[in-house]
Amino acid sequence: MDVPVEVRDIVARAATFESVGNNAGAQAGYLDAMQRLGQRASVFRGTLYINLGTNAQDAGWLDDAATFFRRSIELLEGERGEAHLQCAHAHFNLAHLLLHTDDPAAPAHAAEASKRYHANPFASPVDRANAAMLSVLCSLFILNQGEERTLRAAWEELSTVNAPELNRQLLKNFLLNWLGFNRRAHLGDFPDVQRAVRHWLGNLSFEGPVAELLQS
């Protein structure tokens, strides 16, 4: 990855801006780095677009964020090695963003992220579990399709990782559906499911409907 040191410096400075909430400064830095790279280092630029996307998402510039994630996928698509994993992150971020806007493209991006995370040996189990939850939620909210098989597979995937490491927003919505489904479909086994979820969550607590489902 042929990236000059001064560009790495600019990116490091922009990342610092992003971490302290200076989203405009961070975006300017990332775009400056992008301009200096020109057509070189496409994998690095693809990764940089992910940074631009997450930064724009934090700032509330959702249209910009979706554009940046799509640009990242264009650059990383078909690449292997590190780019393969980064492309999975881009698909995941885009699917997560599109889920909030009820965009019909969300399920396809979630499925692609999940597929890539499962194929790549460097993908973290936490990323795989987050992608599994996102796929389920996209099917439920956008396609209005909910299958017991996919819900169960997602639960098995995420129950192998530490609950606090998962995306809390996705986890809350997933648990609402997982517990709700079990109460509706398998009332006899529901106390066992509740116990298993409570044991897995440990000290992690939720308020509102999830808490009610866990206690009922």
Which residues would be at the binding site for other proteins (CB under 8 A)? 1, 5, 8-9, 11-12, 44, 47, 80-82, 84-86, 116, 119-125
Supply the minimum distance, in Å, between the C-beta of residue 116 and other proteins: 8
- Rank residues 118 and 152 by Cβ distance to other proteins and give the closer one: 118
Look up residue 122 and give its DSSP letter.
T
- Gap between the Cα atoms of 161 and 164, Å rounded: 9
User: In a 3-state reduction of DSSP, which class is residue 142?
Assistant: coil
Q: Which two tokens stand for residue 109?
A: 């991006």
In angstroms, give the least distance from the CB of 121 to other proteins: 5
**CB 97 → other proteins: shortest distance, Å?**
20
Cβ closest to other proteins, residue 113 vs residue 213: 113
Report in angstroms the alpha-carbon separations of 13 from 42, 53, 58: 20, 17, 17
In sequence order, the 6+-apart residues with CB closer than 8 A to the CB of 160 are 125, 129
Least distance CB 82 / other proteins (angstroms):
4
Give min distance, CB of 158 to other proteins, in A.
16
* Cα 177-151-196 angle, rounded to 5 deg: 75
In angstroms, what is the minimal distance from the CB of 114 to other proteins?
Answer: 14
**Which is nearer to other proteins, 8 or 168 (by Cβ)?**
8
Residue 44 or 61 with smaller CB distance to other proteins: 44
CB atoms within 10 A of CB 14: 24
Instruction: Quickly list DSSP for 24-81.
Output: HHHHHHHHHHHHHHTTS-HHHHHHHHHHHHHHHHHHT-HHHHHHHHHHHHHHHTT--T
Closest to other proteins by CB, 82 or 103:
82
**Gap between the Cα atoms of 190 and 196, Å rounded:** 10
